[in-house]
Structure 1
């Protein structure tokens, strides 16, 4: 549900919000927020792959995987980040509806289930690891999405309708 909200709103929101954000917070390079829908689709899909991998590690280890616990902490913290973004911008931001309804409650429920099952949790180190890794993973996902959606320097990449030929709006 959370990814669906981001898929449906992120590209359009960034285009509409950019002028207001540039006025209120001029030192941020907002031009980097102009994300075509194909980039949004790819980045969210790649992040889904990262989370699926961490979830598989959690399932395989009964929740004991440090990678799973770090991803779980990062997931919860990212939900809080959505609420902070909405507060700072004083309005809706992509993900702000499902963050308090899906993301944060799931993260809290999952941590409670792990504790109830007697799974040792390293909430301190896991949280610190997740907080340190999150910008790197997010940046890596967006960098890879950029590479995958912006084919350059090849004569067959003629742009038609605003998208590289042959990509069909990927």
Structure 2
């Protein structure tokens, strides 16, 4: 049985859950990276030097600007979801990608053997919200199936969006 009513919390909740999660990242991100980069470099010598250089150059202003850029993307996905009754592929992809992003944070924490930025809210907010929203979309009869290829594409899009957000964040931070 499908329930065709979709609570606005299912769609706009994506932005709310993202904001809670990214508040944690804002509070801990650049400082954690500065404090832990030497140890990470030592533990993972195979990572290209350009990756380490890029990571060490991120400051609080750039990080905050990148979060602002990503806010626009996530808010756009939430609005697309609300306007379409949850049917928007952009919105559904964002919900799925958000949940997978939470799993990536947990994997990062396991690899780093530390509570990395984003790892605290991933099991408490990110993953539960994504599962709940997908369940509500399923009950409403609008959830699109996700294939392994879709998961891979979603992770690639999320990674690309992060790179673009940081690139724009760097430019914005330099201008202001």
The equivalent position to 1:13 in structure 2, one of 22, 32, 49, is 32
CA offset digits 1:124-166 (Å, max 9, x no partner):
2653431231121111111111111124xxxxxxxxxxxxxxx
Q: Which residue of 1 aligns with 2:144?
A: 121
Matches of 1:5 and 1:141 in 2, distance apart? 17
CA offset digits 1:76-132 (Å, max 9, x no partner):
000000000000001110011000000000000000000011114132265343123
Q: Which residue of 2 aligns with 1:157?
A: none
Q: Which residue of 2 aligns with 1:146?
A: 170
CA 1:120–1:79 in 2, change beyond 3 Å: closer, same or farther? closer
Matches of 1:41 and 1:77 in 2, distance apart? 22
Q: Which residue of 2 aligns with 1:3?
A: 22
Larger radius of gyration: 1
Q: Which residue of 1 aligns with 2:9?
A: none
- Retained in 2: the 8 A contact 1:6–1:94? yes
More helix by share: 2
Question: SS of 2:141's equivalent?
Answer: coil
Q: Which residue of 2 aligns with 1:31?
A: 53
Which sections of structure 2, spanning at least 5 residues, go unmatched? 1-19
The count of residues paired between Structure 1 and Structure 2 equals 152
CA 1:51–1:23 in 2, change beyond 3 Å: closer, same or farther? same
Structure-to-structure mapping, 1:32-51, within 5 angstroms? 32-34=54-56, 35-51=58-74
State the TM-score, normalized to the length of structure 1.
0.84
User: 11-20 or 133-142, which moves further after superposition?
Assistant: 133-142
- Retained in 2: the 8 A contact 1:73–1:130? yes
Matches of 1:147 and 1:19 in 2, distance apart? 26
Question: SS of 2:169's equivalent?
Answer: helix
Taking CA–CA contacts closer than 8 Å with sequence separation of 6 or more, which of the two structures ends up with the larger relative contact order? 2
